[in-house]
């Protein structure tokens, strides 16, 4: 899921998307230490950011990202960053100040809210349904060729969908009656090349 999908689905269709977000790609997140963008306090009204050491940003520049979303470039004072004892946790640059690039307010707040939600037990319980849904779609595509319609026209296509759903139920009933174990999740050919651990 992306910030744009979260916001547009809610604004245009009143749909609350449920799913994991793209992982934070910053070096701080990958290293598991340091100050990422999430560690800064953003004051949208004053157009300022405050770093974990308490320094306030000096410049706030709205811009447009290459992927189309409005973003904000936030700059801190060089003299604040150069003498900061937490500099190594903040930036790898030796002589430059810390800069932040974040999504505009609605997208940033949607991402923060979604990231907090995906850490809850309630989210994990709701998200479990995805395995069943994806398994059903996979079985209908592989066993019953659901990807393409055999007929022309909406009425006949709808009839095909109903018959396919009934056939899927019969296949699952048969597997249950014969006590056939469920198939394990398939591995992609690329993943199968990876060394097995444990």
Could you read off the pLDDT of 163-191 as tens digits, one per residue?
999 999 999 899 899 988 877 766 777 77
Q: Are residues 116 and 30 in the same domain?
A: yes
**Range(s) of the domain holding residue 90:** 3-124
Q: Where are the beta strands (DSSP E) in the chain?
A: 41-43, 48-50, 59-64, 70-75, 99-103
The pTM assigned to this predicted structure is 0.68
Q: Are residues 98 and 156 in the same domain?
A: no
**Are residues 58 and 75 in contact, defined by beta-carbon separation less than 8 angstroms?**
yes
Please report whether residue 190 resides in a domain: no
User: How far is CA 48 from its chain centroid?
Assistant: 26
- What's the DSSP call for residue 180? P
Q: Are residues 116 and 139 in the same domain?
A: no
Please report whether residue 192 resides in a domain: no
pLDDT digits (tens, 9 = 90+) for 32-72: 788 888 889 999 999 999 998 888 999 999 999 888 889 99
- The answer for residues whose C-beta is within 8 angstroms of residue 53's C-beta and 6 or more apart is 84, 85, 86, 90
Please report whether residue 195 resides in a domain: no
| The domain boundary residue, chosen from 107, 124, 141 | 124
Distance between CA 125 and CA 123 in Å, rounded?
Answer: 5
Q: Are residues 136 and 50 in the same domain?
A: no
């Amino acid at each position: 899921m992306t910030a744009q999908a979260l916001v547009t689905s809610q604004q245009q269709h009143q749909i609350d998307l449920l799913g994991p977000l793209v992982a934070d790609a910053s070096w701080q997140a990958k290293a598991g230490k340091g100050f990422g963008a999430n560690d800064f306090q953003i004051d949208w009204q004053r157009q300022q950011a405050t770093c974990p050491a308490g320094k306030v940003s000096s410049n706030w520049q709205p811009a447009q990202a290459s992927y189309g979303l409005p973003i904000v470039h936030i700059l801190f004072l060089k003299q604040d960053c150069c003498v900061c004892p937490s500099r190594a946790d903040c930036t790898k640059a030796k002589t430059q100040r810390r800069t932040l690039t974040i999504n505009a307010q609605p997208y940033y707040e949607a991402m923060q809210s979604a990231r907090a939600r995906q850490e809850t037990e309630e989210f994990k319980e709701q998200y479990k349904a995805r395995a069943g849904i994806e398994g059903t779609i996979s079985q209908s595509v592989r066993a019953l060729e659901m990807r393409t319609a055999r007929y022309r026209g909406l009425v006949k296509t709808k009839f095909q969908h109903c018959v396919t759903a009934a056939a899927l139920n019969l296949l699952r009933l048969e597997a249950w009656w014969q006590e056939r174990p469920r198939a394990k999740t398939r591995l992609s050919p690329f993943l199968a090349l990876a060394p097995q651990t444990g």
